Amino acid sequence: MTLVGELIVYSMFIVGGLSYYLGKRKTSSPKLATLIGIVLCITPPLNLVYLIVLMLKDKVTSNPKIEINS
């Protein structure tokens, strides 16, 4: 493998792990967030932009409270 190929493979593991961690906290589907992060590793600037967007996203609450006004 070339140096660029090795960097892409290593970044897939690193960005995939970070995407899953951030996806668990900030999205309702962490597996999809991980898949998108891994696919974007083919073009390195896009995977960094994706991680920044995930970091800036608001957290998802697990139990949304529904208020009924009557």
Q: Look at residue 8 in the predicted model and tell me its pLDDT.
A: 85
| pLDDT values of the chain reduced to their tens digit, one per residue, 70 residues | 699 888 888 989 999 999 999 999 998 898 999 999 999 988 888 989 999 999 998 888 766 666 677 6
Q: Look at residue 59 in the predicted model and tell me its pLDDT.
A: 86
pTM to 2 decimal places:
0.76
d(CA 66, CA 70): 13
d(CA 13, CA 6): 11
Q: Look at residue 5 in the predicted model and tell me its pLDDT.
A: 87
